[in-house]
Amino acid sequence: MNKQSRVLVLDFGGQYNLLVARRVRECGVYCEIKPWSTPLEAVRAFAPDGIIFTGGPATVSEEGAPMIDPAMFALGVPVLGICYGQQLMTHLLGGSCRMACTREYGKAEVTHDGQSALFAGIEPTSVFWMSHGVEVDRLAPGFRACAVTADCPTAAIENPEKKLYGVQFHPEVLHSVHGMEVLKNFLYGICGLKNEWKMSSYSQEAIEECRAKVGGGKVLLALSGGVDSSVAAVLLHRAVGEQLTCIFVDHGLLRKDEGDQVMEAMGVLGVRVIRVNAQKRFLDRLAGVTDPETKRKIIGEEFIRVFEDESRKLGRVDFLVQGTIYPDVVESGVGGESVVIKSHHNVGGLPDHVQFREIIEPLRRLFKDEVRQLGIELGLPESLVWRQPFPGPGLAVRVIGDITEEKLAILRDADAIFREEVANAGLDRSINQYFAVLTDLRSVGVMGDGRTYDYTLALRAVETQDFMTANWSRIPYDVLERVSSRIVNEVKHINRVVYDITSKPPATVEWE
């Protein structure tokens, strides 16, 4: 990546850590997240032009709290500490923190004194998002408070001489009205960076990086047909051409007609794809399994085993490529300090022994919307780039409970109706993800004057920028009514349709 413009985000376990990186990239500055335990030498080697400490659940004074080498503050690199990051900076540089007299959670009015570069061009008082029970008690030498709230006298602090800044609030959260301006002031004004990181440059750099890593080796790519793996396939095809073979595993857990659509789309793009019909193999292993984590791990392992089998038919294969993206990595607790939310079959569900020299994940530094941008840059058709997101384990995690061919058939038909009606209503671009879930709940119904006892189907639709947080979509009632009517009339064994109105958090986007 361009060493003239890069920011390091150190992860202290905060719930918004990925969002911090996302916002930095929205400012046109490349950044990466690394764990707080990253050695000082590795930080030097990364050569950041700015460093951001995320928030975190720990208290700086407690035993075992995440700490860093204080020498990091002497690198001459501007540092912005957010929440725990501000407290850590204070603690390590000679100040102290205490339990706040009044804890702040949610929106708070922050007033700055008009003298800090961090608040340049921002109105004197505005709303920012707070989430803390600890605050700075005594400032470290050389620091001053430059913003306050009614309950927090150190809502922001600074040592402009050393370019060290801290904020108690979370500028990365959308609820912070001028949060992006604070980040831009840090990146552009304090770090001296420019809005210059574009997807076109990332595309070329990623192609060159993959080409250099692969050399003359053979590459096998795990193609699911979703946006992520399709973009990865085209990128690798650009990088190594005929050295790439894509394996499309039809595991029997795809959406309606999806297998044929995938083959047609990749054929147009000139990418070599081998379709493996492995429905029985997967369904046999999943028989009777109800636990979602177990489902994911079984599917992840079986994917790898299928690839190994196919690679033996192809002769020596050196590299396996997967379409893993940044949220997959973070939610799986890989490479950072975040809590594991669920295993992704591309990440946490990998078997211990994989018969390839190396796994390549060219998208693991990108967010979903960035993957779509990359797809457009690479020339993929919009119909493929804007395909609805689909989990690697497929319908296995949208059928709650045990999986049978009958349940899968029911869900395919119901899901197809839902997606069709959303598209017919012109909502398919405004809703970021929408799908149906077949619950394991049966309930009494009435059809044709007769009693039924059939499945309840749940509809899920969310709107989000980064899939780390999401709001449930307010689909018009007439659309929902049409969807429900069609499903109960056209799909056997469903007599009740419900709509999920839970945001993320507390729920995840998928049910399992």
Active-site residues, by number, are 83, 170, 172
DSSP state of 119: G
CA distance 356 to 333: 23
Task: Give alpha helix (H) positions in 80-225.
Answer: 84-92, 179-184, 199-214
Task: Count the alpha carbons within 13 Å of 158 in the hemisphere toward its beta carbon.
Answer: 18
- Give Cα separations from 26 to 356, 418, 433, 489 (angstroms): 35, 32, 21, 45
Cα 42 to the center of its chain, rounded Å = 25
How is residue 422 written in tokens? 């959303």
Question: Which helix (H) or strand (E) element contains residue 30?
Answer: strand 30-35
- Give Cα separations from 80 to 146, 153, 379, 420 (angstroms): 14, 18, 38, 46
Closest CA to 7 of 178, 168, 187: 187
CA distance 256 to 492: 16
Cα 270 to the center of its chain, rounded Å = 29
Q: How many residues does the chain have?
A: 512
- Are 135 and 95 contacting, i.e. CB atoms less than 8 angstroms apart? no
Tracing tokens 């493929």 back to the chain, one arrives at 384
CB neighbours of residue 173 within 10 Å: 19
